[in-house]
Amino acid sequence: MKVLVVGSGAREHAAAQVCARSGHEVLCTPGNPGIAQVAEVIHWPQDNAALVTLAQERGAELVIIGPEAYLAQGLADDLQAAGIPTFGPSRAAAQIESDKAWSKAFMVRHGVPTAAHQSFETLEAALAYLDTQPLPTVIKDAGLRAGKGVTIAQTREEARAALHAIFEQQNAAVVIEEFMTGQEVSVLALTDGERFALTPPSQDHKTIGEGDTGPMTGGMGVICPFPVSAEDLETIRREVIERTLAGLRAEGIVFCGVLYAGLMLTPQGPKVVEFNARFGDPEAEAVLPLLESDLAAHALAAAQGQLNPADVRWRDEASAVIILAAPGYPGTPQKGIPLHLPQPAEGEYIFHAGTAEQGGQLVSSGGRVLAVTATAAELPAALAQAYALAGRVGFEGGQLRRDIGGRIGLRPSPLGQPQEQP
Ligand code: GLY
pLDDT tens digit string along 119-165?
899 999 999 999 999 899 999 898 877 767 889 899 999 999 999 99
Percent of the chain with pLDDT over 90: 89
Average the pLDDT over 368-375 and give the result: 98
Residue 287 Cα to ligand 1 midpoint, Å, equals: 13
pTM above 0.85, yes or no: yes
* pLDDT value, residue 414: 63
270 pocket-lining for ligand 1 (C-beta < 6 Å): no
The whole-number pLDDT of residue 210 equals 94
Backbone CA torsion sign across 360, 363, 369, 373: positive
Which ligand 1 atom is nearest residue 278's CA?
Answer: 4
Q: What is the mean pLDDT of residues 224-232?
A: 98
280: Cβ below 6 Å to ligand 1? yes
Confidence band for 422, pLDDT divided at 50, 70 and 90: very low
CA of 151 from ligand 1 middle (Å) equals: 15
Q: Give me the sign of the Cα torsion angle 386, 388, 394, 395.
A: positive
CA 262 to ligand 1 center in whole angstroms: 8
pLDDT digits 0-9 by tens, 284-332: 999 999 999 999 999 999 999 999 999 999 999 999 999 999 999 999 9
Cα angle 245, 87, 386 (rounded to 5 degrees) comes to 95
CB 303 within 8 A of CB 76: no
pLDDT for the residue 142: 83
Is 217 a pocket residue for ligand 1 (Cβ < 6 Å)? no
| Cβ of 149 less than 6 Å from ligand 1 | no
Mean pLDDT (whole number) for 376-400: 96
Which pLDDT score is estimated for 415? 62
219 lines ligand 1 (CB under 6 A): yes
pLDDT band at 406 (very low <50, low <70, confident <90, very high): very high
- Neighbour order of strands in the sheet with 257-266: 196-198, 183-191, 257-266, 269-276
Distance 275 CA to ligand 1 centre (A): 10
What local confidence, expressed as pLDDT, does residue 201 receive?
98
The pLDDT assigned to 30 comes to 98
- Confirm or reject: Cβ of 283 under 6 Å from ligand 1: yes
CB distance 348 to ligand 1 below 6 Å: no
pLDDT range class, residue 102, cuts 50, 70, 90: very high
Contact 355, 363 (CB under 8 A): yes
Residue of 208, 276, 279, 287 with the most ligand 1 atoms within 8 Å of its CB, for mutation: 276
- The average confidence (pLDDT) of the chain is 95
Contact 44, 8 (CB under 8 A): no
Residue 201 C-beta-side C-alpha neighbours within 13 Å: 20
Per-residue pLDDT, averaged over 350-370, amounts to: 98
Whether ligand 1 lies within 6 angstroms of the CB of 204 is answered as: yes
Q: Which atom of ligand 1 is nearest to the CA of 282?
A: 1
- 389 pLDDT above the threshold of 50: yes
Q: How far is the C-alpha of 39 from the C-alpha of 16, rounded, in Å?
A: 7
Mean pLDDT across the stretch 232-244?
98
Q: At what angle do helices 123-130 and 156-167 cross, to 10 degrees?
A: 170
Q: Indicate whether 28 pLDDT > 80.
A: yes
Which of 352, 368, 373 has its CA nearest to residue 224?
373
285 lines ligand 1 (CB under 6 A): no
391: pLDDT strictly greater than 80: yes
Q: Using 50, 70 and 90 to split pLDDT, how confident is the model at 118? A: confident
116-178 sits in which CATH class?
alpha beta
CATH tag, 318-420: 3.90.600.10
Closest ligand 1 atom to 276 CA: 5
Residues 198 and 188: beta-carbon distance below 8 Å: yes
Query: What is the arithmetic mean of pLDDT over 75-83?
Result: 98
Q: Say which residue, 101 or 262, is predicted with more confidence.
A: 262
What spacing in Å lies between the alpha carbon of 56 and ligand 1's midpoint? 30
Distances (CA, A) of 351 to 25, 308, 392: 19, 29, 15
3-state SS of the chain is CEEEEEECCHHHHHHHHHHHHCCCEEEEEECCCCHHHCCEECCCCCCHHHHHHHHHHCCCCEEEECCHHHHHCCHHHHHHHCCCCEECCCHHHHHHHHCHHHHHHHHHHHCCCECCEEEECCHHHHHHHHCCCCCCEEEEECCCCCCCCEEEECCHHHHHHHHHHHHCCCCCCEEEEECCCCEEEEEEEEECCCCEEECCCEEECCEEECCCEEEECCCCEEEECCCCCHHHHHHHHHHHHHHHHHHHHHCCCCCCEEEEEEEEEECCEEEEEEEECCCCCCHHHHHHHHECCCHHHHHHHHHCCCCCHHHCCECCCEEEEEEEECCCCCCCCCCCCEEECCCCCCCEEEEECCEEEECCEEEECCCEEEEEEEEECCHHHHHHHHHHHHHCCEECCCECCCCCCHHHCCCCCCCCCCECCC
Specify the pLDDT at position 421.
43
pLDDT value at residue 326: 98
Judge if the beta carbon of residue 177 lies within 6 A of ligand 1.
Answer: no
Ligand 1 near 147 CB (within 6 A) = yes
3-state secondary structure 232-287: HHHHHHHHHHHHHHHHHHHCCCCCCEEEEEEEEEECCEEEEEEEECCCCCCHHHHH
- d(CA 322, CA 375) in angstroms, rounded, equals 12
Show me where the domains of the chain are located: 116-178, 185-311, 318-420
Superfamily grouping for domain 185-311: ATP-grasp fold, B domain (3.30.470.20)
Q: Residue 417 pLDDT > 50, yes or no?
A: no
Question: pLDDT at residue 238 above 80?
Answer: yes
Mean pLDDT of 39-65: 98
Mean pLDDT of 365-375: 98
Q: Please give the Cα distance from 225 to 347 (Å, whole number).
A: 16
Distance of CA 210 to the CA centre of its chain: 20
DSSP strand pairing (196-198 vs 183-191): antiparallel
Residue 420 has pLDDT above 50, yes or no: no
Residue 418 has pLDDT above 80, yes or no: no
